[in-house]
């Protein structure tokens, strides 16, 4: 995906994906003191939001905290479900690019929390107005319906928040992450793999519950207009194979080495479907190989998924920027 080629340059989506490189390179936040003080008091973080503003940013952050034993209890749910929970002892973050997402605003208005903080892409929003503090992204406006560069910056924000809580700093890898992101976004993908995905009736994404595969499944709908599904962990070989067909495809993000043979046995040999991997190393499946960067692999994996989906969308002849029914703000607060 290179903007020097007209087939990509005509789409805001491709431009915004590639702008992610500079979003990463120039990443910074305003003073986090108020949020850090709240988090030090509670040691409990709850990240809410809807769709792309929650899936990868929040789930990646939870995985980061759990894998490293950072001493924070972290959860995420959509705002309507979060409204049913007791959050009084939590530092609550609500992510909404527009700052107008109805469900998030309702949560902030009606739920008691130790601290309420808005992660938004614009100033002077309804969500920001009812928060203890607001943090405005630097990525700029997105014209395409599918959120991309904002998703990465939201995840980087939470990453920085957690590191700042620990008295550390995660910006030392930003230059390297930006360079590797450019490599991933601009890499050429085997046209035969793209053709096999483009002709599939359903595109499944399988992988860890860290937001990457799940977010890619959502982006599949918005970008390619194809049906998709997220298969957490090894769910792909625990029953769903009964209704899968050879006209479908599974893209496995960073597959578990010890489960590759089972995926082949059940899905390739059993169903007759194609399995493709996105990984930093060779697998027993056709593999889209990407670079690795400690603690930041998920960012690169997600961007590799974007690259794949753009190629599939173009191969399917769809307008990447203008889906028929999907909206930029899913459920907008009016008031």
Written as six digits, the tokens of 116 are: 């309420």
Place of tokens 């595969």: 213
Q: Are strands 115-120 and 202-207 parallel, antiparallel or unpaired?
A: unpaired
Containing domain of residue 60, as a range?
Answer: 6-172
Are 135 and 29 within 8 A, CB to CB?
yes
Tell whether 150 and 76 lie within a shared domain.
yes
Give this prediction's pTM: 0.94
Structure confidence at residue 335 (pLDDT): 61
- Indicate whether 32 and 74 sit together in one domain: yes
With beta carbons less than 8 A apart as the criterion, state whether 100 and 125 touch.
Answer: yes
State how far Cα 142 lies from the chain centre: 15
Q: Is residue 1 part of a domain?
A: no
Place of tokens 């929650």: 54
One domain, residues 146 and 208: no
CA 141 centroid distance within chain: 18
The answer to whether position 327 is within a domain reads no
Classify each residue of 76-103 as buried b or exposed e, where b means 16 or more C-beta atoms within 10 Å of its C-beta: bbbbeebbeeebeebbbbbbbbbbbbbb
Residue 120: strand, helix, or coil: strand
Based on the fold, state whether residues 167 and 182 are members of the same structural domain.
Answer: no
Whether residues 163 and 242 fall in one domain:
no
Q: Is residue 139 part of a domain?
A: yes
Are 270 and 255 part of one and the same domain? yes
Rounded Cα distance, 306 and 107, in Å: 31
- pLDDT for 331 equals 55
Handedness of CA 169, 163, 303, 322 (dihedral sign): negative
Q: Specify if 322 maps to a domain.
A: no
271 assigned to some structural domain: yes
Q: How many domains does the chain have?
A: 2
Greatest CA separation for the chain: 56
172, 193, 226: which is the final residue of a domain? 172
> Is the same domain home to 152 and 209?
no
Ordered strands of the 44-49 beta sheet: 73-76, 44-49, 91-96, 115-120, 133-136
Residue 53, in any domain of the structure = yes
> Would you state the pLDDT for residue 113?
96
335 residues of the chain, pLDDT tens digit each: 999 999 999 999 999 999 999 999 999 999 999 999 999 999 999 999 999 999 999 999 999 999 988 889 999 999 999 999 999 999 999 999 989 999 999 999 999 999 999 999 989 999 999 999 999 999 998 898 889 999 999 999 999 999 988 876 554 589 999 999 999 999 999 999 999 999 999 999 999 999 999 999 999 999 999 999 999 999 999 999 999 999 999 999 999 999 999 999 999 999 999 999 999 999 999 999 999 998 899 999 999 999 999 999 999 999 999 877 654 555 554 56
Q: What is the CATH number of the domain that holds 60?
A: 3.40.50.10490
State how far the Cα of 131 lies from the Cα of 142, in Å rounded to an integer: 23
Q: Whose CA is closest to 308, among 233, 232, 212?
A: 212
């Amino acid at each position: 995906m290179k903007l020097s080629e007209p087939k990509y340059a005509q789409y805001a989506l491709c431009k915004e994906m590639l702008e992610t490189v500079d979003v990463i390179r120039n990443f910074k936040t305003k003073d986090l003191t108020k949020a850090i003080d709240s988090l030090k008091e509670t040691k409990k973080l709850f990240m809410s939001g809807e769709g792309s503003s929650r899936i990868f940013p929040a789930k990646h952050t939870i995985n980061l905290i759990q894998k490293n034993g950072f001493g924070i209890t972290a959860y995420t749910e959509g705002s309507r479900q979060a409204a049913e929970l007791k959050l009084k002892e939590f530092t609550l973050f609500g992510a909404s690019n527009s700052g107008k997402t109805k469900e998030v605003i309702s949560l902030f208005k009606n739920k008691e929390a130790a601290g309420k903080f808005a992660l938004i892409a614009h100033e002077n929003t309804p969500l920001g107005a009812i928060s203890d503090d607001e943090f405005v992204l630097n990525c700029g406006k997105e014209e395409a319906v599918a959120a991309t560069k904002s998703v990465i910056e939201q995840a980087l924000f939470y990453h920085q928040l957690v590191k700042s809580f620990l008295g550390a700093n995660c910006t030392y890898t930003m230059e390297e992450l930006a360079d590797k992101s450019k490599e991933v976004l601009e890499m050429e993908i085997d046209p035969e793999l793209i053709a096999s995905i483009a002709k599939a009736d359903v595109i499944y994404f399988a992988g860890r519950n860290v937001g990457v595969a799940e977010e890619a499944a959502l982006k599949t709908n918005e970008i390619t207009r194809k049906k998709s599904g997220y298969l957490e962990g090894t769910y792909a070989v625990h029953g769903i194979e009964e209704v899968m067909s050879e006209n479908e495809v599974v893209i496995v993000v960073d597959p578990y080495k010890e489960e590759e043979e089972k995926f082949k046995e059940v899905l390739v040999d059993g169903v007759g479907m194609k399995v493709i991997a996105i990984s930093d190393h060779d697998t027993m499946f056709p593999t889209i190989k990407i670079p690795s960067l400690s603690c930041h692999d998920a960012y690169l994996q997600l961007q590799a998924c974007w690259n794949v989906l753009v190629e599939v969308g173009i191969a399917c002849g769809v307008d990447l920027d203008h889906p028929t029914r999907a909206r930029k703000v899913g459920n907008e607060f009016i008031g």
